[in-house]
A and B are shown apart, each in its own frame.
Chain A
Amino acid sequence: MLRITGLTKTLGSFSLKGVNLHIEEGEYFIILGPTGAGKTILLETIAGIYSPDGGTIALHGSDITRTDPKHRGIGMVYQVYMLFPHLTIEENIGFGLRQRHIDPVTIRNRVRQTAEMLGIWHLRERYPETLSGGEQQRAAIARALALGPRVLLLDEPLSALDVTTRERLRRELRTIHRMMKTTIIHITHHFEDIFALADRVAIMQNGTIVQVGTPEEIFQRPETEFVASFTGMENVFCGRSRLRDGAALIDVGPISIQTVAGIEGDVYVGIRPEEVIVSREPFESSAINTFRGTVTEIQQNGMFSRIVVDAGVPFVCALTRQSIRRLELAEGETVYLTFKASAVHACPG
């Protein structure tokens, strides 16, 4: 649907060095990467703000590399809203429709419909500066959606918001995506966004895409050291959570993991490798999760080594070399894995 081939662009100290991406119709696509990776330039080049130095962008099979932004049908939402401060919320949302010289009644209806979907119609006469961050971001999303864009670009849309507002708006983005079926490209550095929203994820580093895949693929099989260190949660599993006595018990394959998060239904579970304790014998402790497994792989690198233990599902654990020697670990040995319920990060899948 949207095909980006060999895209290059240098802008000051930022650059895109041959970006290749293919985004499917109706897909929620997330781009993850550190500051300075060139994520915003990529979005702005897709939107047509910058003309690329090389490469092509094709939308629905037609080349739009040199098309003026106003003819691309690509909507843009920035981290800090960029609502026009001299216009009311209603005028902001209707801005794009007014450029098309549509009759005022139709504009008002469309604006109303979009604003109501985002729950901001009652704010229509206010000016942006009088709104909270969450309300402003809703208005910015409404402004982009009112035109019915073919692709919606979101540049860290949740990063400037407080935790509660962020979670609410994240759920709403998911609802909007399901309702409108708009193709969305979303830049973030929160891994929660990935699990809650993404159909597929691309990891971007130094102006290139280093890995593309489903959230599970990215987290379970990071292809480069960078992806692994950036995502940090190598033990990521899909599961189903049941609430019991206020705590959640998550079934992951053949095992059940306890967590403190009170969520139910389909979830993603993440456990950092350094949170998992490896022992030769089971032991009594305050940590509630203990599983028996077999060492399948030992990777010696640097001060920390990573060992993979199959306990029904594969766990990655980080140990020092001394610990591996002391425990006399080798491939094929039986070990016990222990971690606290609070070390289990769960988010809705």
Chain B
Amino acid sequence: MERLMQRRSRSSLFSASFLAISAVLVIFMTIVIGGLVLYPSQRELLASITSPEILFAIQLSLVTSAVSTALCIIIAIPVAYAMTRFSFPGKSLANVIMNLPLSLPPLVAGVALLIFFGPSLIGTVLRGSGIDIVFNVTAIIVAQFFVNVPYMIRITRAASAVINPRYEYVARTLGCSEWSAFRQVTLPLAAKGLIAGLVITWSKSIGEFGAVLLLAGATAMKTETLPIAVYLNISTGDLNEAIAASIVLIGIALVSLLIFEQYGDGTQVI
């Protein structure tokens, strides 16, 4: 009996300590993030959020992230499908290259993009034909796309990998072309995963900083997305504006996380 008690108390000590560490972490995160929200006075915060600069940043962030997310999904769907269904030479190499931006610091991706669209031969040719993709709004979209398309591909792949190809086979024996079997069967079956991927990609696009900073620069009221607004205002000591932009980002992150939980069932975000 005594031994049993000992065993029990030891095992509860085990679970208690692990739970305690978890609790401390959750409390720490809540205080850090909640503290940011509560730090400025509500009146000042409201004034900052409705200031022309922050409203511009919100608008620019929404527009650029919407466009870049749309581009991500247009590219990710065929790529993810090809990577799950087809085998081709160099597939594993293609896989590594596609996933590289995931582990690359966005700053490095930004430098690479800057060189590519800037002084490189291709950048020079593009500029010569009137296409300039450096230090402007297009640059924001390109940077967001480059960094986030691997995420979208990964989530779309996870969503399409679980769809049995025989659904399409049956559809084709019932009179569908490959295109229409994909549209009528595979796409609707992947819808939930696609929505989850869309939300997470959108939220990451809004928060993208490093690559955007390098390729689009940090020009107030021009290439000033929300993260850039945080950066610019912190560097000039305008704490309230920086916090206002941060709070908007927290709100967006929270909403997208909730939507992802709703639709993402089983899909892992890396």
Q: Is the CB of A99 within 8 A of B170?
A: no
Within 8 A of A (CB), among B184-205: 185, 188-189, 191
User: A67-75, A162-170, A202-210, A281-289: which lies at the B interface?
Assistant: A67-75
Q: Is the CB of A82 within 8 A of B166?
A: yes
Q: Is the CB of A70 within 8 A of B166?
A: no
Q: Is the CB of B175 within 8 A of A75?
A: no
Say yes or no: A99-B173 contact (C-beta < 8 A), given A78-B166, A82-B166, A86-B189.
Answer: no
User: A44-52, A180-188, A236-244, A337-345: which lies at the B interface?
Assistant: A44-52
**Interface 0/1 of A49-89, CB less than 8 Å to B:** 10000000000000000001110101110100010111000
CB B263 to nearest CB in A, in angstroms, measures 15
The distance in angstroms between the C-alpha atoms of A85 and B180, with both chains bound, is 17
Point out the residue from B166, B167, B180 that lies within 8 Å of A99, measured CB to CB.
Answer: B180
Q: Is the CB of A70 within 8 A of B176?
A: yes
Closest B residue, CB atoms, query A70: B175
- Complex contacts, A49 vs chain B, CB 8 Å: 169, 172-173
Q: Is the CB of B172 within 8 A of A96?
A: no
Say yes or no: A76-B180 contact (C-beta < 8 A), given A82-B166, A82-B167, A86-B188.
Answer: no
Q: Interface size bucket, B side?
A: 10 to 19
The distance in angstroms between the C-alpha atoms of A44 and B166, with both chains bound, is 10
Q: Is the CB of B172 within 8 A of A78?
A: no
Point out the residue from A44, A85, A99 that lies within 8 Å of B174, measured CB to CB.
Answer: A99
Q: Does A306 contact B (CB under 8 A)?
A: no
- Complex contacts, B166 vs chain A, CB 8 Å: 78, 82
Say yes or no: A96-B174 contact (C-beta < 8 A), given A44-B169, A85-B189, A86-B189.
Answer: yes
Q: Is the CB of B173 within 8 A of A47?
A: yes
Within 8 A of B (CB), among A294-322: none
Point out the residue from B164, B173, B189 that lies within 8 Å of A70, measured CB to CB.
Answer: B173
Closest A residue, CB atoms, query B167: A82
CB B188 to nearest CB in A, in angstroms, measures 5
- Complex contacts, B172 vs chain A, CB 8 Å: 47-49, 68-70
- Complex contacts, B191 vs chain A, CB 8 Å: 86
The distance in angstroms between the C-alpha atoms of A74 and B172, with both chains bound, is 10
Q: Does A143 contact B (CB under 8 A)?
A: yes
- Complex contacts, B189 vs chain A, CB 8 Å: 84-86
Q: Interface size bucket, A side?
A: 20 to 34
- Complex contacts, B170 vs chain A, CB 8 Å: 76, 78, 82, 143
Say yes or no: A70-B177 contact (C-beta < 8 A), given A86-B188, A86-B189.
Answer: yes
CB B165 to nearest CB in A, in angstroms, measures 9
Point out the residue from B169, B175, B177, B185 that lies within 8 Å of A84, measured CB to CB.
Answer: B185
Q: Does A95 contact B (CB under 8 A)?
A: yes
The distance in angstroms between the C-alpha atoms of A100 and B164, with both chains bound, is 24
A-B Cβ contacts below 8 A, count: 57
Within 8 A of A (CB), among B19-38: none
The distance in angstroms between the C-alpha atoms of A298 and B61, with both chains bound, is 88
The distance in angstroms between the C-alpha atoms of A85 and B169, with both chains bound, is 15
CB A64 to nearest CB in B, in angstroms, measures 13
- Complex contacts, B247 vs chain A, CB 8 Å: none
CB B85 to nearest CB in A, in angstroms, measures 12
Q: Does B171 contact A (CB under 8 A)?
A: yes
- Complex contacts, A42 vs chain B, CB 8 Å: none
Q: Is the CB of A76 within 8 A of B164?
A: no
The distance in angstroms between the C-alpha atoms of A52 and B95, with both chains bound, is 29
- Complex contacts, B169 vs chain A, CB 8 Å: 44, 47, 49, 69, 76, 82
Q: Does A347 contact B (CB under 8 A)?
A: no
CB A175 to nearest CB in B, in angstroms, measures 23
Q: Does A147 contact B (CB under 8 A)?
A: yes
Closest A residue, CB atoms, query B165: A49
CB B168 to nearest CB in A, in angstroms, measures 9
- Complex contacts, A75 vs chain B, CB 8 Å: 173-174
The distance in angstroms between the C-alpha atoms of A95 and B169, with both chains bound, is 13
Q: Is the CB of A147 within 8 A of B175?
A: yes
- Complex contacts, A76 vs chain B, CB 8 Å: 169-170, 173
Q: Is the CB of B175 within 8 A of A82?
A: no
A-B contact pairs, 12 of them (CB 8 A): A47-B172, A70-B172, A74-B173, A76-B169, A82-B167, A82-B169, A84-B167, A95-B171, A95-B174, A96-B174, A99-B176, A100-B175
Contacts A69-B172, A147-B175 known; list 13 others, CB within 8 Å: A44-B169, A48-B173, A49-B169, A68-B177, A70-B176, A74-B173, A82-B169, A85-B189, A86-B188, A95-B171, A96-B175, A99-B175, A147-B174
Q: Can you list the 5 inter-chain pairs with the closest CB atoms, starting with the nearest?
A: A99-B175, A96-B174, A69-B172, A76-B173, A70-B175
